[in-house]
Amino acid sequence: MGSVAYPLVVALWLLPLAGAVLCWAFGPRLRSACGWLAAGLVGVSFLLAVASWGSATQNLGGVLGAHQPLVSWMPGFDFGLLLDPLSLIWTFIITGVGFLIVFYSIGYMDGDRAFARFFAYMSFFMFAMLTLVLSDNFVGLLVGWGLVGLASYFLIGFWFERRSAVAAARKAFVINVVGDVGMMFAIFLIVANVHSIGFGDVFAAAPGLSDKLVFAICLALFIGAAAKSAQVPLHTWLPDAMEGPTPVSALIHAATMVTAGVYLVARCAPLWNHSGSAQLLVATIGGVTALGGAILGTAQWDIKRILAYSTMSQIGYMIMGVGVGAYEGGVAHFFTHAFFKAQLFLGAGLVIHALHNEQDIRAMGGLWRRMPFAFWVMLTGVLSICGVPGFSGFFSKDAVIYGALQHGHPWIYAVDIVTAGITAYYMFRMLFVAFLGEYRGEAAPDRAGRESEHGTHAPGWVMNVPVAVLVVPSVAVGGALMFGGDNSPWSRFFAPLYGTPSSRAIAVPPISEGVTSLVVFLTVIAGFAIAWQRYASRGAQADAPARLRRETERMPAVLTNLFYVDWVIERLIVRPAQRLGELFGRVVDPHVLDGAVRDLVFWARWLGTLVRSFQTGLVRAYALILVAGAACFVVYYAVAAGLR
């Protein structure tokens, strides 16, 4: 209907699947070629995405983007692929950052027994994620939603000989399924009231739906978004998900999959625009998650867990951004976060790889002298995530924070500024403890290019190049695209979808954007100063091991127990469920269900015994009964006749 078909998007979508199938089927024969194959196919997919720029942004007769129909089932249930500015941005990140991370994995996973399986899973994940963002309907979205959860499960539990990895994978899967069920209920509500699953039909019908209904749909959708994007209280799986290989953490649990919730809210903007209470809910949850994740990040010692909590916190920012209605702001933060968080994870991967899987920053220290490349990578990543002016994170984070004020949420605005300061504190804490001072570990870090006695070797060019490439956008993309308010390339790119940012703002804030940036920067400086004073100043460096030990011992219980969220879930849900299961196993099943069956058998047998005693086998007895019966009839009719 006016939109342009674009068959190339099908190729873009299916190439990673081809990679997965090839790696899976011919893994043992392809061996190390698997990595190059998977990376190559994703790379081609990325080039196709770049080539699709024009088709995705064209605006023909009011219809935005390219729409490729695939299957028509029945009226209202058409499946197809939709490439518009929003899905294009996600496709860029999935295939582009995905390509770099798969490339990096060739080095990182080198020597792993399940080399081919890893690349099959990674390719499968990218196919699933593309299904999620390219679908033009809610059911296709849910299919992608489920498949990325499955891919995440496979990859968290990749080293399945580790008990903790298996437990983490299971936890992630179960919590994600809670979200999937929420999504499913949203789709039930949509189908029952709109009789269509297509985005276009649903959004066109949104103004006609009642407020309560729209709120219910948004709530159910957001349960899915919260589970996938690790929002409070469904966030507990994300830190545990760090059991997977580091490239997995970078791609799935930082750059792409966990931002699916942001995509969902941004995609369903027409629904959220019709329900102020749904927006408030999403924005509040996002703000709480941003703050909670940041606070927990200050108490971690595992480098990947610090990054996991920072991911949770940054996704809180994004969710808050799309929640208040600053859609392009939230998506901008997703865009820059994908670069600098992937960079931070891959940088952490360089360190972990060189230190023979040591992840505790207390056992690091002084690494900047031994691994200067990793240090500079981490430093630029930290500067970007903290929102230091000039770096990408600055532009996107400011868009989100200022968006909260523009859309009339001063409290969330305040929480975000505080969170920015805490972010600076824990990110610099990680950087200082791991890279400054004296080396405190036992494992000897390898020099570049030299084989160590353990058989692992320091990161080669295969691992360094993707990280170096990522540094460029994580430093520059924000300034290049997101500077200039309504007239920035970014705002103009999204204007056909959402309108310009200031046209949607409901309030003219008393504080200007410049002052906001200044205040955020000052809190960042404060966070940095505290981290410097505690971990990097000369006094702190002098007795670093003792200080770190003291800090570990004096860590408040509320932080080491992660705000007791796991504890509460354990008490409120897991244990009652187990009790219920035990009750059914001990009482209901043996006594009620089995008992009913046993009783039935008993009475059937009793009745059979009774009745078969009549079957004497004596012909004459049968004859007698026959005659007696006939006599009864005769007597009955005789009496009846007599009475008449």
Partner 1 sequence: MPVPTGHYVALAAVIFFIGVLGVIVRRNPLIMLMSIELMLNAGNLLLVAFARAWLQNAGQIFAFIVITVAAAEAAIGLAIIVTTFRPARFVDVDDVRSLHG
- The site for partner 1 (CB under 8 A) is made up of 611-620, 623-624, 627
Q: What gap in Å lies between CA 559 and CA 565, rounded to an integer?
A: 11
* Closer residue to partner 1 (CB): 507 or 626: 626
3-state class (DSSP) for residue 82: strand
Rounded to a whole number of angstroms, the minimum distance from the CB of residue 619 to partner 1 is 5
- Least CB distance to partner 1 at residue 631 (A): 10
Nearer to partner 1 by Cβ, of 604 and 624: the residue is 624
522/623 with CB nearer partner 1? 623
Residue 544 sits at φ, ψ, to 5 deg, of -55, -50
Residue placing its CB nearer to partner 1 in the complex, 192 or 641? 641
Q: Which is nearer to partner 1, 557 or 611 (CB)?
A: 611
Residue 262 to residue 315: CA distance in whole angstroms: 8
Question: CB-wise, 597 or 623, nearer to partner 1?
Answer: 623
Shortest Å distance, C-beta 636 to partner 1: 18
d(CA 569, CA 571): 5
Listed residue (264, 360, 393) closest to 319, CA to CA: 264
Supply the minimum distance, in Å, between the C-beta of residue 640 and partner 1.
20
Nearest CA among 138, 133, 164, 163 for reference residue 148: 133
Minimum CB separation from partner 1 for residue 181, in Å?
A: 56
Residue with tokens 């001072």: 437
First to last CA, the chain: 86
d(CA 427, CA 435): 12
CB of 583 to partner 1, least distance (A): 44
Token readout for 224 is 């899915």
Between 631 and 639, whose beta carbon lies closer to partner 1? 631
Q: Which two tokens stand for residue 84?
A: 């518009």
Phi-psi region of 449 (alpha: psi -120 to 50; beta: other; left: phi over 0): left
At which residue do the structure tokens 């005769």 appear?
634
| Choice between 507 and 625, CB closer to partner 1 | 625
The Cα angle at residue 363 between residues 362 and 367, in degrees rounded to 5: 100
Comparing CB distances to partner 1, the nearer of 611 and 641 is 611
- DSSP reduced 3-state for 71: strand
Angle between helices 372-386 and 392-406 (to 10 degrees): 20
> Which residues, listed in sequence order, are joined to residue 77 by a DSSP beta bridge?
74
Nearer to partner 1, 1 or 611 (CB): 611
Rounded CA separation 317/308 (Å): 14
Whole-angstrom distance, CA of residue 50 vs CA of residue 56: 10
CB of 624 to partner 1, least distance (A): 5
Report in angstroms how near the CB of residue 185 gets to partner 1 at its nearest. Answer: 58
- Whole-number minimum distance, CB 618 to partner 1, in Å? 6
Residue placing its CB nearer to partner 1 in the complex, 583 or 624: 624
DSSP 563: G
What the block records as the tokens of 619 is 């012909």
Shortest distance, CB of residue 639 to partner 1, whole angstroms? 18
Name which of 39, 49, 96 is nearest 474 in CA terms: 96
CA pair distance 431, 180, nearest whole angstrom? 37
DSSP assignment of 422-450 equals HHHHHHHHHHHHHHSS----SSPPPPTTP
Q: Which is nearer to partner 1, 74 or 628 (CB)?
A: 628
Asked whether the CA dihedral 176, 182, 186, 187 is positive or negative, the reply is positive
Nearest distance, CB of residue 603 and partner 1, angstroms: 18
- Complex with partner 1: residue 559 or 627, whichever CB lies closer: 627
Judge contact between 255 and 97, C-beta under 8 A.
yes
Closest CA to 253 of 242, 266, 264, 261: 242
**Least distance CB 632 / partner 1 (angstroms):** 15
Q: For residue 277, how far is the Cα from the chain centroid?
A: 24
CA angle 236, 237, 239 (to 5 degrees): 80
As separate numbers, helices (DSSP H) first and strands (DSSP E) second, the chain gives 32, 4
Nearest to partner 1 of 503, 613 (CB atom)? 613
* Smallest separation (angstroms) from partner 1 to the CB of 598: 24
d(CA 578, CA 608): 42
* Contacts with 194 (C-beta within 8 Å, 6 or more apart), sequence order: 76, 201, 202, 205, 209
| Centroid of chain to Cα 628 | 82
559 or 623: whose CB is closer to partner 1?
623
Shortest Cβ 586–partner 1 spacing (Å)? 41
Shortest distance, position 578 Cβ to partner 1, whole Å: 51
CB of 620 to partner 1, least distance (A): 6
Q: Toward partner 1, which CB reaches closer, 192 or 619?
A: 619
Q: Is-contact 405 509, C-beta < 8 A?
A: yes
CA distance 248 to 264: 22
